[in-house]
């Protein structure tokens, strides 16, 4: 609503945005990031869904109506923008402890120890890129701050990354800045977290873990680059807890998931990046936001059909309210299934490719239509008025696959199309486990970017070791 108001105000149409009490701080911060810090807001006290109709009416009459009138009739005034320091300006000098305290008090850090981003350290990162430090990678909402090669390097230093990780960091920033990703939704109330999936030779060259313990911290490359994502969202995009970051519970940043390139080569399967248009031999990141993830443990791999049934069951059981993104809002759910290499090998031996596996998962990872209807209309109230999938399909508001009959017991898939189910291979090569991630729909749509390496990449790496 605030973004729509900003557009209207920009062409001279007065507005007032209605804001529930829990979003007042986020609305004010978003308005400032849009360049309109005095944008009129009208508070709706409390939470709408937690009030009776009489309570809501009384609160709106007592508080909201007057604010709406003021917003539409009074001059909101102007506020001078606060000047930000230049990229190379020295803003503080002190001990490591003093610097850490300064960064924390200014909300520039996550509370963990940081590496002070001195000009010299930043330049060490820039030495692993041929791109100009001032090059703009995109504009990030809600703060409308420009992502540059320089501020990517600054946040890489802060996170404890090695300078050689710089090409990966730049690709992540480019993915986050891509309008198709939807970075502006990174502070939504469900608290979904960004996940970076890394493919290509650079994963091995930089020491990323794609084996036992994948998704666990403890390996510098996976861990610090994962931390970078949250610091970058905080310091460049402007997502701050209690302000523009409104995750009800939130979550800790995720370490990078690197695919097992050697296992993929043995199987003859393409990497996730290759499936998304990246040429073999190139390195790339795929960035998406996921609400939750859970293990599908101890799969019995001797029977491929039984294995697929188990994986499909696990995938379906871990999708809950997120079904709204399967059947509504552009059918944008993109669940991710991560297979350990031994599970992928069992499927490949049965002549399964990623494509045939996806088709089987699409056919079997299903739940009763009545359950999805409760998720989207009765339990979450996201789609108004107890909707039936068949009616939504007849009106063209959901893909036909969800409305093939009126039978409430018919089974419907977790995604609109087989190709919407993403598959990756990583983890302990001797354990028969898988991991299911549930996506946050268009609130962090999977976006893939190639990793550009500087000239003389091998020589630079050897010189840094």
How confident is residue 377, by pLDDT bands cut at 50, 70 and 90? confident
Q: Check residue 307 and give its pLDDT.
A: 96
More confident residue, 73 or 188: 188
Contact present, 329 and 442 (Cβ < 8 Å): yes
**Is the preceding omega at residue 142 within 30 degrees of 0, hence cis?**
yes
Residue partners of 367: CB distance under 8 A and separation at least 6: 316, 319, 323, 411, 412, 414
User: Which stretch of 23-37, 54-68, 346-360, 376-390 has the lowest confidence by average pLDDT?
Assistant: 23-37
Q: Where are the beta strands (DSSP E) in 167-305?
A: 193-199, 257-258, 284-296
Tell me the helices (H) and strands (E) count for the chain, helix number first. Answer: 19, 13
How confident is residue 40, by pLDDT bands cut at 50, 70 and 90? confident
- Sketch the domain layout of the chain as residue ranges: 2-73, 189-201+257-446
Is the pLDDT confidence value at 32 over 70? no
The pair of three-digit structure tokens given for residue 392, joined into one six-digit string: 């939504």
Average pLDDT, the chain: 89
Q: Among residues of the chain, what percentage have pLDDT more than 70?
A: 86
Q: Positive or negative CA dihedral for 71, 73, 74, 77?
A: positive
Contact present, 44 and 20 (Cβ < 8 Å): yes
CA distances from 337 to 172, 258, 294, 340, 359 (A): 21, 14, 10, 10, 13
Is the pLDDT confidence value at 21 over 60? no
Contact present, 171 and 449 (Cβ < 8 Å): yes
Alpha carbons 457 and 438: distance in angstroms, whole number: 36
H/E run at residue 423: strand 422-425
Q: Which residue has the tokens 């790339």?
A: 284
For strand 336-339 and strand 434-439, is the pairing parallel, antiparallel, or unpaired? Answer: antiparallel
CA distances from 382 to 57, 357, 372 (A): 22, 32, 12
Q: Check residue 27 and give its pLDDT.
A: 59
CA distances from 252 to 97, 110, 216, 370 (A): 24, 10, 12, 34
Q: Which residue has the tokens 């990872």?
A: 365
How confident is residue 3, by pLDDT bands cut at 50, 70 and 90? low
β-sheet bridge partners, residue 339: 425, 434
Of 348, 332, 351, give the one whose Cα is nearest residue 340. 348
Contact present, 451 and 336 (Cβ < 8 Å): no
The arithmetic mean of pLDDT across residues 205-229, rounded, is 97
End-to-end CA distance of the chain: 51
Q: Among residues of the chain, what percentage have pLDDT more than 90?
A: 71
Alpha carbons 175 and 290: distance in angstroms, whole number: 15
Q: Where are the alpha helices (DSSP H) in 51-148?
A: 53-59, 65-73, 96-105, 119-126
Contact present, 256 and 208 (Cβ < 8 Å): yes
How confident is residue 68, by pLDDT bands cut at 50, 70 and 90? low
User: Which stretch of 5-19, 137-151, 339-353 has the lowest confidence by average pLDDT?
Assistant: 5-19
Contact present, 293 and 437 (Cβ < 8 Å): yes
For strand 411-413 and strand 447-450, is the pairing parallel, antiparallel, or unpaired? Answer: unpaired
Q: Check residue 88 and give its pLDDT.
A: 81
76: burial class by Cβ within 10 Å (0-12, 13-18, 19+)? middle
Alpha carbons 445 and 448: distance in angstroms, whole number: 10
Alpha carbons 285 and 449: distance in angstroms, whole number: 6
Neighbours of 312 (CB within 10 A): 23
DSSP structure string for 295-323: EE-S---S-HHHHHHHHHHHHHHH-STTH
| CA angle at 161 for the pair 157 and 163, rounded to the nearest 5° | 80
Contact present, 238 and 33 (Cβ < 8 Å): yes
For strand 284-296 and strand 193-199, is the pairing parallel, antiparallel, or unpaired? Answer: antiparallel
Residue partners of 348: CB distance under 8 A and separation at least 6: 267, 268, 269
Q: Check residue 67 and give its pLDDT.
A: 66
How confident is residue 120, by pLDDT bands cut at 50, 70 and 90? very high
pTM comes to 0.88
């Amino acid at each position: 609503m605030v973004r729509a108001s900003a557009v209207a105000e920009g062409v001279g149409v007065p507005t007032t945005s209605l804001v529930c009490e829990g979003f007042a701080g986020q609305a004010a911060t978003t308005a400032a990031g849009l360049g309109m810090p005095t944008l009129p807001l009208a508070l709706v006290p409390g939470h709408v869904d937690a009030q009776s109709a009489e309570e809501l009416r009384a609160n709106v009459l007592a508080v909201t109506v007057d604010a709406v009138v003021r917003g539409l009739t009074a001059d909101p005034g102007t506020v001078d923008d606060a000047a930000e320091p230049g990229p190379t300006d020295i803003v503080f000098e002190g001990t490591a402890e003093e610097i850490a305290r300064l960064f924390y008090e200014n909300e520039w850090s996550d509370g963990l120890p940081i590496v002070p981003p001195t000009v010299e350290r930043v330049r060490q990162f820039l030495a692993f890129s041929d791109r100009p430090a001032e090059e703009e990678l995109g504009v990030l909402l809600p703060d409308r701050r420009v992502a540059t090669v320089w501020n990517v390097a600054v946040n890489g230093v802060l996170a404890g990354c090695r300078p050689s990780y710089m090409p990966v960091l730049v690709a992540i920033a480019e993915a986050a800045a891509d309008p198709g990703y939807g970075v502006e939704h990174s502070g939504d109330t469900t608290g979904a977290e960004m996940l970076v999936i890394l493919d290509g030779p650079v994963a091995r060259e930089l020491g990323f873990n794609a084996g036992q313990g994948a998704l666990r911290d403890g390996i510098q490359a996976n861990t610090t680059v994962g931390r970078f994502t949250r610091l970058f969202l905080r310091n460049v995009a402007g997502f701050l807890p209690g302000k523009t970051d409104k995750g009800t519970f939130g979550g800790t940043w995720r370490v990078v998931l690197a695919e097992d390139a050697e296992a993929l080569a043995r199987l003859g399967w393409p990497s996730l990046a290759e499936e998304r248009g990246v040429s073999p031999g190139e390195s790339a990141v795929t960035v998406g936001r996921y609400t939750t993830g859970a293990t599908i443990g101890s799969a019995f791999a001797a029977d491929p059909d039984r294995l697929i049934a188990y994986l499909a069951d696990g995938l379906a059981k871990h999708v809950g309210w997120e079904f709204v993104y399967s059947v509504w809002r552009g059918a944008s759910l993109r669940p991710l299934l991560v297979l350990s290499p031994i599970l992928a090998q069992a499927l490949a031996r049965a002549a399964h490719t990623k494509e045939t596996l996806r088709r089987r998962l699409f056919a079997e990872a299903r739940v009763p239509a009545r359950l999805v209807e409760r998720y989207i209309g009765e339990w979450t109230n996201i789609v108004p008025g107890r909707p039936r999938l068949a009616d939504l399909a007849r009106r063209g508001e959901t893909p036909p696959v969800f409305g093939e009959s009126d039978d409430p017991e018919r089974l419907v898939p977790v995604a609109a199309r087989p190709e919407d189910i993403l598959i990756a291979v990583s983890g302990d090569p001797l354990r028969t486990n898988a991991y299911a991630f549930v996506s946050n729909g268009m609130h962090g749509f999977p976006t893939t970017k190639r990793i550009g390496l500087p000239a003389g990449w091998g020589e630079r790496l050897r010189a840094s070791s």
